[in-house]
Chain A
Amino acid sequence: MATKHSRAAARLMISPAVLLLLGWMIVPLAMTLYFSFQRYNLLMPGMEEWTGLANYQYFLTDPAFFDALTNTLLLVGGVLLVTIIGGVMLALLLDQPFFGQGVVRILVIAPFFVMPTVSALVWKNMFLNPVNGLFAHAAKALGLQPYDFFAQAPLASIIGIVSWQWLPFATLILLTALQSLDQEQLEAAEMDGAGPLSRFFHIMLPHLARAITVVILIQTIFLLSVFAEILVTTNGGPGTASTNLTYLIYAQSLLQFDVGGGSAGGVVAIVLANIVAIFLMRMIGKNLEA
């Protein structure tokens, strides 16, 4: 029973949020777009000029861009693989009755609340350091050569750290989804002689499909923008071995002061993220109607 009066009030209540978000979106976006067509370096003030698509040409043909794109895909894909498979397995384990469920749940969820710089530095120094890290101590105790993780496998090490941070998120969501599964259906299947494997593949996995999709999409949004973990561990190196798109654009803009080039990279990143976003929005939009 919305009256004209309440409609006007509603509009008034919504408008601050809308105006702020609109400004937040349009102003920087327009500036990024504008800068991307400019030759603009902070070290050479007053030399700005229109360069058309030169920044894009430079950014897209830079070998570092191709490396960064590959690394971004490997990082997103690697973390998704670890967290989804690990998350499903963990959710299946934690969904069963056992002693101390509440406490274990708390232990498992904890890494998600650790700020990225802390988890990256703790892993880098106290676990993966080739001299003083726990893994190096363990290797020496077993008579093996300590492994220099960030020198020899920088990207894989970062994938490991980021996976540790996101595994709790995947687990928690999949566990929530699993708990809404109709127990009677499982019992009926068991009575009909379905083994654990066929129950998993024919009942549980289809039930989890939606939650898995949500996890993939949301994590992808965040994983495309992984930054702090790279900044404090490898600085994108050695070379470009662990540079992702976000880090490359950061380095271009704030380390080399190339505003034009960095902006062109920013536009490329926005386009790529939008492709993912479209899928995610469709899913959430469908749910809104249900």
Chain B
Amino acid sequence: MARQVKTRNKVIVTIAAWAVGIAIFFPILWTVITSFKSEADAIADPPVFLFFNWTLENYVTVQERSDYFNHFMNSVVISVGSTLIGLLIAVPAAWAMAFVPGKRTKDLLMWMLSTKMLPPVGVLVPLYLIFRDIGLLDTRIGLVIVLTLINLPIIIWMLYTYFREIPGEILEAARMDGATLKAEILYVLTPMAVPGIASTLLLNIILAWNEAFWTLNLTAANAAPLTAFIASYSSPEGLFYAKLSAASTMAIAPILIMGWFSQKQLVRGLTFGAVK
């Protein structure tokens, strides 16, 4: 009897959970489907779900008309570049704070976090003017610099929470055995730190890829990543659902896949270790 009730409950929960999951995912699914339609099918009433002439023409048109690949590469360069530079600066800092903590370490960490809470619009004007004056407006380098700086606190924090979990005794043991600082870092710490660094890398590429305040305000045609490129579809002449869908699908697909891999790190990274 009890088992029967349990199975029935499980079936009900299964149906409810799948219904909610599909409803939440539906806009993305609909976008992907629409990207394979002709423009006429895309706005057909009643809407067509699966039975239409599937076509790849939108993907071709989007590339031809607007040099989609260039914007895609901007996104790649900006998100990967800013994350790698950020890691380069953050790994030593997080390492030092985790393994050689001083009296001020906690204050320092909190202060770094506080810079993240500065609303971007509060420094929009000066940054825009600085960028204009030194010629960084609408350049990849300019955006790499800004995104490195805005994500640096998150990178340091994530690395710090990972590094702190590496047992200190293992370092002492290595030191006892006569390991130099270099050997300690290279052969003891690095292998243990790689998973944490990889998760940090992944999450930060996602955050940088989707960043849509600075990318919209500091770029025009040349360095515009996908966030800014897609925004150009908001003008009336850009109202082509199938093409909008194709551009959108290509913009979100890589990050969606990376995102699914980093679900667990997401919680930890975005709550600064407050929820694990």
Contact = CB atoms under 8 A, between A and B. Distances in A.
Contacts of A117: 212, 216, 227-228, 230-231, 234
B31 A231 contact: no
A14 B270 CA distance: 22
Contacts of A262: 124-125
Contacts of A167: 24
A220 to B, nearest CB: 10
Interface residues of B, number: 97
Contacts of A204: none
B93 A14 contact: yes
A28 interface: yes
Contacts of A27: 126
Label chain B's interface by main secondary structure. Answer: helix
Interface string B167-199: 000001001000001000000000000000000
A105 B248 CA distance: 22
B125 A32 contact: yes
B24 A115 contact: no
A17 B10 contact: no
A284 B92 CA distance: 23
A253 interface: yes
Contacts of B81: none
B274 A32 contact: no
B272 A284 contact: yes
Contacts of B31: 118, 122, 126
A21 B110 contact: no
A96 interface: yes
Contacts of B93: 13-14, 16-18
Contacts of A104: 17-18, 20-21
Nearest to B235: A232
Given A13-B93, A117-B231, A253-B125, A97 B259 contact: no
Nearest to B259: A113
A32 B118 CA distance: 12
Interface in A1-33: 1-2, 6-7, 9-11, 13-14, 16-18, 20-21, 24-25, 27-29, 31-32
A88 interface: no
A90 B19 CA distance: 12
A35 interface: yes
B45 A115 contact: no
Nearest to A35: B125
Contacts of B175: 1
Given A172-B266, A224-B119, A277-B114, A115 B275 contact: no
B27 A281 contact: no
B158 interface: no
Interface in B121-154: 121-130, 149, 152-153
Contact of A99 (B14, B43, B95): B14
A227 B230 contact: no
B30 interface: yes
Contacts of A24: 115, 149
Contacts of B18: 100, 104
Given A126-B241, A288-B109, A168 B24 contact: yes
Contacts of B100: 2, 6-7, 9-10
A88 to B, nearest CB: 13
Contacts of B128: 253-254
B80 interface: no
A64 interface: no
A10 B96 contact: yes
A266 B149 contact: no
Contact of B212 (A6, A20, A115, A289): A115
A196 to B, nearest CB: 12
Contact of A263 (B116, B119, B125, B231): B125
Interface string B12-56: 011011101110110110110010000000010111000000000
A249 B95 CA distance: 39
Interface of B: 9-10, 13-14, 16-18, 20-22, 24-25, 27-28, 30-31, 34, 43, 45-47, 89-90, 92-93, 95-97, 99-100, 102, 106, 108-110, 112-130, 149, 152-153, 156, 172, 175, 181, 206, 209-210, 212-213, 216-217, 226-228, 230-231, 233-234, 239, 241, 244-245, 248, 251-252, 255-256, 258-260, 263, 266-267, 270-276
19 contacts: A7-B102, A10-B97, A16-B93, A17-B89, A93-B17, A96-B10, A104-B20, A106-B260, A115-B230, A118-B31, A121-B233, A137-B45, A172-B266, A227-B121, A253-B124, A254-B128, A281-B113, A281-B117, A287-B273
Interface of A: 1-2, 6-7, 9-11, 13-14, 16-18, 20-21, 24-25, 27-29, 31-32, 35, 90, 93-94, 96-101, 103-119, 121-127, 132, 134, 137, 140-141, 164, 167-169, 172-173, 176-177, 210-211, 214, 218, 221, 224-225, 227-228, 231-233, 245-246, 249-250, 253-254, 259, 262-263, 265-267, 269-270, 272-274, 276-277, 280-281, 283-285, 287-289
The 10 nearest A-B residue pairs measured at CB: A31-B126, A113-B259, A13-B92, A28-B123, A10-B96, A228-B212, A107-B21, A10-B100, A277-B117, A104-B21
